Every structure is written in structure tokens, then in C-alpha cells.
Structure 1
């Protein structure tokens, strides 16, 4: 009788355990709290694109012929795209590499927590920080640089799917590249260098019209270029289409490339992700 009762209690306790989705939500809350406890990281993450927006918009203030906009307005969607990739690709690529090197991932792998809950927690962190950073840049852009918010519901719908697909693709790419650094010390260099190069050849810091075609073709292989182009299509008037490589926003191609990176990034994660560092196998 006692054995039966104990077994029933154990079974009931197991049934009450939260699933992967519930654990992912809790893990996401923990990730967000840990993020805000590191005040220097919070300030750097949110202020970095704002400072660059202020610098570039202050230096390049002339009007762009034939578009009805000034150069500073071009940098608002560009910095939004850069901010999305910074909070996803760069943040996850470095933080996961550090956690692997410090044996955090190895300890988590030995717990009953489903692996999916760990990644859900990271996605919640990326989504939260990405929304906050985008809201800050929108506030700065509309108040200081005369960027108009869309009045058409279809433009807001475009913004929503561009943001979600771009954030997801960049986050998965960040998880995949986290397996490249051999140690926590090299993580920043390994992740920041390609991100910096992509910003220059994807239309973040330099106008598309001044970048050589061969560089644009390389940038077109990655999500940042299409994220920038899609956000320009949302927040800039149609007269600015002439600045694009094809003279169009190409929303269909933006959706196709970003969705492809979501699928491709997931495949890369499944093929490359490791819970242990190379030194311990």
C-alpha cells in the first residue's frame, strides 16, 4: 500500500512538471533578468546603434536628389536592421560561446531540462531586446530625423514579418556561429569581424549606390542586406526606391531570402551545435 501510494505521488509529480514551452518561458525570464543585471552590457547594447545613428546622421545631412528625403533618414532603418542583427547574431554568437567555454552548457545538458527550453529562452531574450532596441531607434528617428511612421496597415504588416523573419534568421545564424570560436577569449573577434564587414557591404553605413556591385552581390547572400532593404521600404517613401540596386523594394525577394535563412540557419544549428567545447570532446 505504501509503495503504491509513493509511486502515485511520484507519477503525479512528474505529470505536474512543466513542458518544454513552459520551461522555455521561465528560461527566457531568467535570461532577461541576467541581461539587465549586467548594466554595462545593457547600456552598450541599446546605446551603440543610437550613437552610430547620431554620428552618421549628423555628418551626412544633405538631401538626396530625386527622393524627397535627406541622407540622415536613410540611416534610421539601416541602424534598426543593424540593431536587430546585433541583439541576435552578435549577442547569441558571443554569449553561447562563452557559456560553452565556462562549462555552463555542459551542466545544463546534464539536467532534466529539454534542450529546446534552453534555445527558447535565448529566443525570448533576443525577441525582448530586439523589440526594445527597435522601439528606441524608432523614437529617435521620428523625433530627431523626421522619419514618418507608416499610416497604412499593410506597411505595419510588412514591418512585422520583416522583423520576425530577420530576427529569427539572424538568431539561428548566431547560434550556429557560436560553435566556431575555440574559446571564450576568441568569441568576440570571430563574431564581430563578419558582422562588421556585413554592415559595410549591406547598406548600413554606406549608401547602396556607392558600393561596388561585387560587394553588393556578396552582401545579398546574407540576411542583413535584405533586412535593411525591407525596413527602408517600410519607413521611407516610394520615391526612395531609386536608391535601391534594382529600383524596387523587392518585398517578395526579401521574404524569400529571410525565410531561406530561417530554414538554413536551423539546419546549420542542427549540424554544428555542440554542448561541450572542443578540448573536452
Structure 2
């Protein structure tokens, strides 16, 4: 049985170079899987389109100038947050579970590939595809549904750190969660319900302020709620902060919550990742 620490020791520079080459390999492999591209890459775009069309006549509040907030404007931050979770946690956990089940990880364990380089490739793929996905969602919102994007550089700075911090955290959590499915065939059935439940209780499909207080408190224990809140800060008017828990955007609390989950993910990955399952 080969554990996380069993990879051969290589100079740091070579490990990074191998990891960088793995990113390209992982990205190309990802886009060769048409079903994965549709369900993980295009799904948030499809949901944004459905909500924007279905609720096109509905008003979701008004900005400081009295202009109505459309469905596309309201759901844009939610779909961006969902995209981070899907690209990171869902995609990573299912991918690794399948690779463990079909023998890919067992074969890699017999090569000089350092486990660090393997993870660099996986996390790099998540960051690259997540960025492309976010760019596509924003482009569709702006060009198809006429969403006016922020012109404040501070908002885009917040978007950058929330996105990068969030997608890396979700990817590392996905590494830990990949140990849960016993086989690659069961990975989708195990992981997707978890992701769907988190989306429903974290203000992605339902207005977060309309949920029962106890359910809001439960959602606050998970990172998606904070990612969605950060995206709402970027793309919604200032007055919408009254709908958040505590009546403000609480960016500091968001950073702390995501940082805690990053540490949790690192610990889980360190304890659970194996090239081969213990019970395999």
C-alpha cells in the first residue's frame, strides 16, 4: 500500500516543473470528457440561463438609483459560487475516486511521479477550468442578459481573492472527500447529492435570507455560504448587505471561514489520500 508520503524525493524545482506539465495534461484530459464538460463546466451557465429566462419579469430588489435588479443580476453571483464548488470539490473528488478505482493511481504509484506534482496538476486544472468557467458565466450574463458589471477595482480585487481562495480550498477538500466513495462507479451518486444540498442551503438556488435561521446557521458552517456571500458583495448593490446574516457583508469573517476549511482540507487530504484504498 502506497501512502501520501511514499513518493520519491526530488528537488523542489523538478517537482514544480513536473507539476506544471501535469496541469497541461489534466486540462486537456478534462476537456476531452464531453459529459464532464457539460455537467461541471457548462452547468452553472445553463442554470443562469434558466433562472434569467424563467424569472425574467420578476424584480429582485432595487439599487441605490432605484433601478430594478433582474434575475440575471441576482443569480450571477450565486452561479459563480456554485461553479467554484462544482469545479473544485465535486470535480476533484469524483475524478480522483474514478482514477483510484480504474487503476490509474496504482499505475502512477509505480512511477517516479511525486505526489506533490500530482496534486499540483490536479489543483492547477481546477484553477484553470474554474477561471474559464467564471469568465464564461460573466460573459453570458453581460452580453446575453445585459448585466452591468462592477466598475470599482476594489470589487474585482475581492472577486479575485474570493475566487482563488475558494477554488483552491474546494479542490483540497475534494481530495479528502475522494476517499468516501468505495468505487469510481459510486462516486457520482455519493458526491453530487452532497453538492446539491450545499447549494440549496447556501443561497445559490434559494434566497438565503428567506431560509429559516437555524438552516442559515447550518449553512454558515460550510464554505459555499461564504463564497456566495463574497460573490454577492462583488456583483450586487451595497444595500443588499441587509439581507445577509448580521446585516453586513462580513468579508473578514468570510476569509476566516474559508481559511479554516482550507486547513481542514489539508488535514483530510494528508490523512485520507492513498494511491490505493486500504480496503481495496
- Decide which structure has the larger Cα Rg and report it: 1
Call closer, same or farther: CA 1:23–1:247 in 2, change over 3 Å: same
Call closer, same or farther: CA 1:16–1:277 in 2, change over 3 Å: closer
Partner of 1:100: 100
Map 1:31-110; keep pairs closer than 5 Å.
Answer: 31-61=26-56, 62-65=58-61, 67=63, 68-110=68-110
Structure 2 Cα separation of the partners of residues 80 and 65 of structure 1: 20
The answer to whether the Cα contact below 8 Å between 1:83 and 1:130 also exists between their aligned partners in 2 is yes
Q: CA deviation at 1:43?
A: 3.2
The answer to whether the Cα contact below 8 Å between 1:147 and 1:235 also exists between their aligned partners in 2 is no
Structure 2 Cα separation of the partners of residues 142 and 244 of structure 1: 25
Query: Residue 246 of structure 2 aligns to a residue in which SS?
Result: coil
Partner of 1:20: 15
Q: CA deviation at 1:17?
A: 11
Structure 2 Cα separation of the partners of residues 217 and 271 of structure 1: 28
Partner of 1:129: 129
| More displaced stretch, 37-46 vs 111-120 | 37-46
Q: CA deviation at 1:261?
A: 1.2
Partner of 2:199: 199
| More displaced stretch, 59-68 vs 75-84 | 59-68
The answer to whether the Cα contact below 8 Å between 1:182 and 1:278 also exists between their aligned partners in 2 is no
Query: Residue 19 of structure 1 aligns to a residue in which SS?
Result: helix
Equivalences, count:
267
Partner of 1:10: none
Partner of 1:145: 145
Structure 1 Cα separation of the partners of residues 61 and 42 of structure 2: 31
Partner of 2:163: 163
The answer to whether the Cα contact below 8 Å between 1:69 and 1:240 also exists between their aligned partners in 2 is no
Partner of 1:5: none
Asked if 1:172 corresponds to 2:172, the answer is: yes
Q: CA deviation at 1:44?
A: 3.2
TM-score by length of 1: 0.90
Structure 1 Cα separation of the partners of residues 11 and 87 of structure 2: 34
Call closer, same or farther: CA 1:156–1:65 in 2, change over 3 Å: closer
The answer to whether the Cα contact below 8 Å between 2:75 and 2:204 also exists between their aligned partners in 1 is yes
Gaps of 5+ in 2: 1-9
TM-score by length of 2: 0.90
Q: CA deviation at 1:212?
A: 1.1
